[in-house]
Chains A and B, each alone.
Chain A
Amino acid sequence: MSAAIGIIATALVLGSAYALVGLGYNLCFVALRTINFAQGQMYMVAAFVYAELFAHGYHIVPAVLIACAIGAAMGLVIERGIISPVMNRGFTHGNLQASVLGTVAASIVIQEIANRLWGSTILPAPAFFGSGFVRIGTAVITYGQMTAVGGAIVLYILLWLLTRKTTVGLYLRATAANPVVTSLQGVNNRLVVSFAFSLAGVITAMAGILVSPLNGVSTSTGIELATYGMLAALVGGLGRMSGVIPAGYAMGFVEILVSYYWTSQYPDLVLYVVIFVTLVGPSLIKGVRDSQSVKRARRQVPNAGS
């Protein structure tokens, strides 16, 4: 029982991180139809900034604000400095490849800089409400875990309100649907896109701030979050904000269950199998179903051989 509660709590925390980073991916996708591969590294850097500031004696509130500001700034720089100019130039087969190449390069540059700065150190990060915990039977749930999950939920609600109930959110969704029309209506698309990337940066930074108190901050979280968050966005459906959150938590549960019952030695391999199944499975099933329905229909028509 206590093991189950522990598993659930850890999975929920991880799931929150994946869901939040996945939301960041999704916001960028909605804004520019591209994926910012550097999202995971933004998570890592924001978490490091938060932990470093705290270590240098800052209070939690300014530390959080500064880390979020850094997250937003990174989002903005990547959008204005890399994605948009590169997409305007295009690559051999258009701007999709160009933007992916650009952000992959950016992610590796950020990762390398972080490796130089922090190496393999693991910095502790402070939880919002101290290191207290709650006992449920024999199970222990820390304040940090509760803060991470609760904070994520607050962020979901805020994001939902922002995109659904405000004018900015309307602009964002409208620009995603048809940038030509919105620009004809006087919406500054460039501003909207930059806003989306900054917002994605803030959400990603918040994910780092909320989750890193549990395991500390290390440079390896960058690539980990990049892939798992991307997976959450993919499984949830790129561009569908509502799908990302359950997908993120599902990822969290898969990871924890696999490491609890099997092995935690090869997380990437497990991840890869999950990706393969989620990406390929549906299309295989759909393909089989389609071909069966075609065969059935074909039987009723004479001379319909291929």
Chain B
Amino acid sequence: MTWIERWRSANGRAPLPKSVGRGHAVFLLLLVICVLIPAMGMSSFNQETIAWIAADAIMLAGFNVIFGVTGQMVFSHSFFFGVGAYMTAILAIHGWPFGLAALVSVATCVISSWVFSSGLVNLSGFYLAIASFVLPLVFDDLVQLTGSVSGGADGLGGIPLPFNSFSDFLLMTLVITVCALWVAHNIVTGAIGRTWRTLGINEQVAESVGVNVARQKLWAFLLSSGFAGLAGALFAPIFGFISPDSFDLNAMLSILVGAVVGGALGIPGAVVGALLIVEVPQLLSGFSTNSALIYGAILLVALRLIPKGVVGTVQDLYYRWATLPRTVRNESRQSPVDASAANAPPVSLPQSEAGEQRGPTGPIRVEGVTVRYSGVAAASDVTFDVQPGEFVGLIGPNGAGKSTLFNAISGFVRPSSGQVWLGDQCLTFMKPSDRSGLGIARTFQEKQDFGDLTALESVLIGSYLTFRGRSVFSALALPRYTSRERAARQEALQVLSLVGLAGAADRRVSDFPYGDQKLLQIARTLVTSPRYLLLDEPTAGLNPAEIDKAGQVLGGLRDMGLGMLLVEHNVPFVTGICSRIIVMDHGSVIAAGTGSEILASPAVQEAYLGRQSAELNGGAGAEAVQPGEPPGQAPAPKPVPADRGRGPQ
């Protein structure tokens, strides 16, 4: 019986949360509106403007996916927009039906962005920004190079409309737009979007819950380019004429303006941004012939005033209003700490499908692991194991190699020699994300930034693997996905109640005190249904009350039969909770045993207090007190090196 099953049998299920993936009604309503708009009998100028806004909304939705949600600084979007427009235009001029031309354009964009990104997904930050920055710069050159088919710098005219009347084309554009945006919205707000947002915030956290970072970045990028291509295909016939000017660096600037001012984190922001970048130049057309200057100025002002964009700012305001402490409202919202007190266990289970049918069982074994950082052995020939259900503490002075070893087990560091095993499965060459799938979950020592994610969302990140093969269905909010999402939310709420934070599930992570953020980390690892929990200094920087709380939570997990490896500086905490303690110094294991055994070990005392102190305790050389050591401490029979090195690292 696994710890999960025991946990399950001990506790009832939490109620299923409200249904997710609602919005079919909104979607249908929008579709009806689309049908009505072209029938309103607007001037052709207005119809063109609306079609243009629709195309730009699709384009910006794609850009928000890669730039806002996934957080990658990609400046190549206008390039793919242009590729889509030119492909469609050229094919349509050569007599292809519009639908086929558009399909081919989208495929071209996806494939070319795949080629482009296959080398670049490993790049991040500035390198990606600069590598992609050049694509808009060369668009002009490419069009001129292919001038015989693309019309060169003078532009390409005579692009046929797929329908006889523009209002029919507008109808088609709007229907496609609503469908595309609905799909994008479902993806962004669903499990995939959550994963992508995690990538943008913290790649290591994503990796630690089983996300293949490079692959997910690639998917986000392909989706974004596909949307750019679709937008281009819809854009080309609107005016019947395109020129490279529409897709150069200034076009990229207008995309940035739309994303920033509208709000880059979601699809509603893309619609607002599209309205803006089409309407603003028209409003200002009498005032200025060149919009780049105005765009630049708008971007600078918006970055200062509303960096989250119109939509993000409104969401912020709503969040602040909704979480105001107020006595008037029946449902009084409490600060997370109070809420946690009110919601102390009923402890209940995370139910996981991935968890029960996972590969090898057995102990984690570390065999002769050596890790070198450019010649310096941070850990040398370390061997130990962690049995299922066993709580093992790993202590040692700063620089002893604990964290290195910890990273070697979780996969963030590859040992120079030696192996890490889970049962009879060798883990040494596995990526961190694959180890997570085998039931080894880790937390991080430092505080993690979670942007605007709520506590519930930050925990749901951990359920990534349980969406395997289902997350695609989130695009259409199909039951196959929504049922999983509801179950995942239920699990997340249950785990939150285990760590005592269920009452504050809708608060943003940044609102929580430091200690509760650490508990949220533990909660996130728990929804991955781990067999072993690797905790990196869970009490660092916590106050005594928070340490007590963490101790209770971990004690509860021990009783449920979860195995754990705990790297800590707080020795009383470790001795209180771990059945076996391993002491490291200078990269090697110097002692192992129960709490009292290792505290009595001379090697441990030497490592913590220095050679003289160790001799002192052995009764030798009472005069050799180090200047830094208070003499009064010396005669104590067994100095507990509790407070050495405690505190934030």
One of A47-55, A99-107, A142-150 contacting the partner: A99-107
Closest A residue to B250 by CB, please name it: A108
Q: A266-B141, A269-B138 are in contact. Are A304 and B426 (CB under 8 A)?
A: yes
Measured CA separation A228–B479 after assembly (Å): 52
One of B289-297, B319-327, B590-598 contacting the partner: B289-297
Within 8 A of A (CB), among B424-451: 424-426, 428-430, 434, 449, 451
> Is the CB–CB distance between B137 and A280 below 8 Å?
no
B434 CB to nearest A CB, Å: 7
> Is the CB–CB distance between A104 and B256 below 8 Å?
yes
A291 CB to nearest B CB, Å: 10
Q: A98-B307, A268-B137, A269-B142 are in contact. Are A284 and B296 (CB under 8 A)?
A: no
Within 8 A of A (CB), among B218-263: 249-250, 253, 256, 260
Within 8 A of A (CB), among B110-143: 119-120, 122-123, 125-127, 129-131, 133-135, 137-138, 140-142
> Which residue, B68, B264, B265, B429, has most C-beta atoms of chain A within 10 A?
B429
Taking beta carbons and an 8 Å cutoff, which residues of A are in contact with B? 35, 82, 85-86, 89-94, 96-98, 100-102, 104-106, 108-109, 111-113, 115-116, 223, 227, 230-231, 234, 238, 266, 268-269, 271-272, 275-276, 279-280, 283-284, 287, 294, 297-298, 301-304, 306
> Is the CB–CB distance between A98 and B303 below 8 Å?
yes
> Is the CB–CB distance between A112 and B293 below 8 Å?
yes
Closest A residue to B306 by CB, please name it: A89
Measured CA separation A238–B293 after assembly (Å): 30
> Is the CB–CB distance between B303 and A86 below 8 Å?
yes
Interface of chain B, helix or strand or loop or mixed?
helix
For B304, the chain A residues whose CB sits under 8 A away are 85-86, 89
Measured CA separation A102–B129 after assembly (Å): 13
Q: How many residues of B contact A (CB 8 A)?
A: 57
For B249, the chain A residues whose CB sits under 8 A away are 108, 223
9 contacts between A and B (CB under 8 A): A35-B129, A86-B304, A92-B265, A100-B126, A102-B299, A268-B134, A280-B119, A283-B122, A283-B123
Q: Does B540 belong to the interface (CB within 8 Å)?
A: no
Taking beta carbons and an 8 Å cutoff, which residues of B are in contact with A? 67-68, 71, 73, 75, 119-120, 122-123, 125-127, 129-131, 133-135, 137-138, 140-142, 144-145, 200-201, 249-250, 253, 256, 260, 264-265, 290, 292-293, 295-297, 299-300, 303-304, 307-308, 312, 419, 424-426, 428-430, 434, 449, 451
Measured CA separation A115–B295 after assembly (Å): 15
> Is the CB–CB distance between B253 and A97 below 8 Å?
no
> Is the CB–CB distance between B307 and A92 below 8 Å?
yes
For A85, the chain B residues whose CB sits under 8 A away are 304
Q: Which 3 A-B pairs have the closest CB atoms?
A: A280-B119, A93-B71, A109-B296
Measured CA separation A302–B140 after assembly (Å): 55
Measured CA separation A269–B131 after assembly (Å): 12
For A223, the chain B residues whose CB sits under 8 A away are 137, 249
For B264, the chain A residues whose CB sits under 8 A away are 91-92
Contact of A279 among B75, B123, B260 (CB under 8 A): B123
A283 CB to nearest B CB, Å: 5
> Is the CB–CB distance between B126 and A238 below 8 Å?
yes
Measured CA separation A104–B299 after assembly (Å): 9
